Amino acid sequence: MKKLFAILYLTFLCACNQAQEIISPTAILISNTNIVDVRSGELLENRNIVIDSGKIKSILESNGNLKGYNKIIDGNGKFLIPGLAEMHAHIPTPSTHSERIEEILFLYVSNGITTIRGMLGHPAHLSLRNTAKEGKIISPRIFTSSPSLNGNSIKTKEDAIEKVTAYKKAGYDFLKIHPGIQREVFDQVVETANEVGIRFAGHVPVDVGIRHALESKYASIDHVDGFLEGLVPESEKVDPTKNGFFGFAFTPLADTSKIDELVALAKKNEVWIVSTQSLFERWFAPVSADELLKQAEMKYMPATTLQNWKERKEQSTATDTGFNQTQWQRFDSIRKQLINALSKNGHGMLLGSDAPQLFNVPGFSIHHEISGMSDAGMTPLEIIQSGTMNPATFFGMSDTFGEIKVGLDADLVLLDSNPLTNIAALKQLSGVMLQGRWLPKEEIDEKLAIIAQHAAQN
């Protein structure tokens, strides 16, 4: 009897092992690659990653056994990171042809961006968010703000209550704050937002000021808006409405010894910061429009858009505008000090470049932003975290995306070299996985060529 029991037990174990070896016909294997652990900064070498149904199913040390998989992506010598998030994106409105909207979304994906936070919402973006989630188009995961709350759209406290309540009910992910809101109206926005349960982010209205904005607990302050103005001593008695482009006019008055105070306030109130530094190194910067127009990525934008960008830049920084390059250098230096301090000692940074915006082509602009963050003193790991685990934490979705872990969404980027040693490696894509769908570089390049052709025709 004991012998019979032993035989039955061994048979049971064999059956279990065989069951464990059964591989789903839809499973995808990324073989023998190096995983960048974005939380610790460690490199997990020679790993096999199994993806199925849009999720990461298992991560194992490579043993060379690749049998049973219908689709294998060779990760040998390559580096795998979670998909990046563009946390200050703009999505076209329905006035733009649907094909062009899908092309812009693809431009993000083509650069390894698998999540975007739309910063100027429209009712059409709510349905587009669902279309993307269902995988009906090639698009990053979409979060969308409400339409703009500004000095024209909400002039009274009653306006604030009405709009905030309506935007929460409509299903927007958060509220977008723009300039011009008076302080008492802003305070009503905050009160109502807290009551109905919706966060707010964006600009800091002049009448609100950076300190009150931080104490009001923005979800994020974008463009490092309001911080430079906050460095001006009260003794200067400036007219706050004369601050110029994001505080540029107050540059000579800024006291950088006040940076630590503002950074500590951001940390205390858990306010994330989106720097959009590329905006200040491309649009509002001493580089000519003609020089920027020569960059290869401009071929993905229609000629009418490029001409508009050129005209607007020249209206801002041409010789006859009074743009002062020496003052800009000081302005840029202060911004970089703020970015570095907010990264090291604040609540944290979120990767965002403000695209499409002047000379910021969707997707491609994120690499200019990364370069600016690097020049400000952020490490490769800090920059990678600002585009992966930090956005996931921001949205309360660390159990869904932002890292390479079993059970999380298979939004991944396979790179040719190690971004921890050279952040420019983020431009060297071997392919992008979006909700478990693999887009090899060849397919991405083919689609980009079509987008460039369409832009040339329009």
Tokens of 214: 């931080």
Q: Please give the pLDDT value at position 62.
A: 80
Amino acid sitting at position 287:
V
Query: Which pLDDT score, from 0 to 100, does residue 158 have?
Result: 98
Which amino acid makes up residue 183? R
The per-residue pLDDT for 89 is 98
List pLDDT tens digits, range 39-90.
Answer: 999 999 999 999 999 999 999 998 767 788 889 999 999 999 999 999 999 9
Q: What pLDDT, in 10s, does the model give residues 293-314?
A: 999 999 999 999 999 999 999 9
pTM of this structure = 0.93
Spatial distance between the Cα atoms of 237 and 111, rounded to a whole number of angstroms: 46
pLDDT at 10: 43
Q: What is the pLDDT of residue 290?
A: 95
Give the rounded distance of the alpha carbon of 164 from its chain centre.
Answer: 24
Distance separating alpha carbons of residues 23 and 37, to the nearest angstrom: 26
List the chain residues with pLDDT less than 70: 1-21, 64
H helix or E strand, kind and range, residue 148 = strand 141-149
Residues 6+ apart with CB under 8 A from 299: 452, 455, 456
The DSSP secondary-structure symbol of 224 reads T
Q: Which domains are seen in the chain, by residue range? A: 84-457 (3.20.20.140)
Please report the DSSP string for 364-407 in residue order: THHHHHHHHHHHTT--HHHHHHHTTHHHHHHTT-TTTSSS--TT
Alpha helices in 376-434 (DSSP H): 380-386, 389-394
Q: Which residues contact 101 (CB under 8 A, 6 or more apart)?
A: 91, 92, 128
CB 210 within 8 A of CB 218: no
- Helix H or strand E encompassing 251: none
